[in-house]
Amino acid sequence: MINHSSPSITELEKRFVCNVLDSGLLTKGPNYKMFLGELEKFVSCKHCILLSSGTSSLLAILDTINKIDGLDKDEIILPTYVCKSVADAITSSGFKPVFCDVGHNWVMNSKSVAEKITKKTKAIIIVNIFGIIVDCREFKKFDCLLIEDNCQSFYKSDSKFADFSFYSFHATKCMTTAEGGLAVCHNNNYSDMFFNSSQNLEHTNGINEINSALGLAQLERYDEMLLKRNRIAAIYLEHIDCNLVSEIQKIDKTIYYRFPLRKKNNESFESIKNEFEHNGVAVRKGVDMLLHRLYGYGDKCFGVAKLLFDETISIPIYPSLTLDEARYISTLANRILV
């Protein structure tokens, strides 16, 4: 079976981790400090905290913004087309999630957000889903805090327009530390509050020397891993029917964390999934659920997200996938989805 997602682990990662085991120092030490320093360079920001997950990183940010002026503002806007843990973090932090629709390119835009802005809006969470990079500049006009969700898009930003950002280093993310996350404060006005808010989480939910060594090895290979993702994407774009890849072809900036197709037949997802699996390939929906439905809202204001939920099939794309496997998946996609 070709897995839908898989970490890229080489002899380099094994050597880095074995060196830690041989050292006998497993808690925070030189690898942790070095990894944090390399991440600060990568994101071009010194206000960074390593935590146990992307969710913990978002919780640290939400705790910070709870202390920022505007206590009467309790609403946070996010797309309905995103992982459930984002909304869970919002509600557990005492905020109200307000869901917006997305565009046909799977990501939110300022038009869909404008419809949800009220005098109670505290922040917008800008989600770079599937590795598709959203331009944060278009949201600055709303005059509220901007939080960039980079859990599926570990990339070097040209410039930072968000106040905060958070990352996940889970096993199947762009790069992995097995478990881990990063919270970043880009706005110097909030950095002291940010570090104070993160302190308790850092002590209880930090990462160790093994995680850090794994992360250092992944960072050393990260450009190579991105190049492999692009090579696989190029095969898909060349060999898969143009009707299935027409939307992703239009996207200007993506690191191809996921490769979403838009199916054109009326078969159910379960039927499609079973047919792929019968032929040795695991696929999945773009997201597991639409969040507005969990909160009891109808689909009327979320027409594009509903369409994407019904039509999107995510096929394997990760550095350890071989080019021959990518060609085989292309042939399979054309046969099953067209």
**Per-residue model confidence (pLDDT) at position 72:** 81
For residue 2, being part of any structural domain is answered with: no
Model pLDDT, residue 242: 95
One domain for residues 292 and 186: no
Residue 187 sits in the same domain as residue 275: no
What DSSP string runs through 135-204? -GGGGGGG-SEEEEE-TT-----SS--SSEEEEE--TTSSS--SS-EEEEE--GGGHHHHHHHHHHHHHH
Percent of the chain with pLDDT over 70: 97
Task: Give residue 265's pLDDT.
Answer: 79
Q: Do 157 and 300 have their domain in common?
A: no
Pair 173, 256 in one domain: no
pLDDT tens digits along 15-63: 999 999 999 999 889 999 999 999 999 999 999 999 999 999 999 999 9
Same domain, 110 and 252: no
Sheet holding 259-262, edge to edge: 259-262, 312-315, 284-285
> Which residue, 220, 246, 277, sits at the end of a domain?
220
Q: 313 by DSSP, 3-state: which?
A: strand
**Same structural domain for residues 148 and 264?**
no
Mean pLDDT of 271-298: 97
**Residue 166: inside a domain, yes or no?**
yes
pLDDT at site 200: 64
- Measured CA to CA, the distance from residue 7 to residue 137 in angstroms comes to 32
- Does the pLDDT at position 336 exceed 90? yes
Tell me whether residue 6 is in a domain. Answer: no
Q: How far apart are CA 83 and CA 26, in angstroms?
A: 32
pLDDT reported for residue 69: 78
* Domain CATH code at residue 187: 3.40.640.10
Residue 215 sits in the same domain as residue 226 = no
Residue 4 in domain: no
Cα 292 off chain centre by? 19
**Which residue among 220, 248, 277 closes a domain?**
220
- Tell me the CATH number at 299: 3.90.1150.10
Helix (H, G, I), strand (E, B) or coil at 264: coil
Structure tokens at 64: 């910070």
Q: How are beta strands 96-100 and 75-79 bridged, if at all?
A: parallel
* Whether 125 and 210 share a structural domain: yes
In a domain, 3, yes or no: no
Of the residues 191, 220, 249, which one is the last residue of a structural domain? 220
Pairwise CA distance, residues 230 & 153, whole Å: 14
Spatial distance between the Cα atoms of 123 and 125, rounded to a whole number of angstroms: 7
Tell me the pLDDT tens digit for each residue of 253-264. 999 999 999 987
**Residue 203 pLDDT more than 90?**
no
Q: Quick check: 202 pLDDT over 60?
A: no
Q: Which domain holds residue 302?
A: 222-337
Length of the chain counted residue by residue: 338
Same domain, 274 and 291: yes
Q: Are residues 207 and 238 in the same domain?
A: no
Residue 25 forms part of a structural domain: yes
Residue 237 counted as domain residue: yes
pLDDT in tens, 119-168: 999 999 999 999 999 999 999 999 899 999 999 999 976 556 899 999 99
185 with 307, same domain? no
pLDDT range class, residue 94, cuts 50, 70, 90? very high
Tokens standing for 292? 């507005």
Give pLDDT, residue 266. Answer: 85
Mean pLDDT of the region 219-245: 97
**pLDDT-based confidence at residue 246 (cuts at 50, 70, 90):** very high
Residue 52 and residue 199 in one domain: yes
- Domain membership of residue 82 (yes or no) is yes
C-alpha span between 282 and 315 (Å, rounded): 7
Domain count, the chain: 2
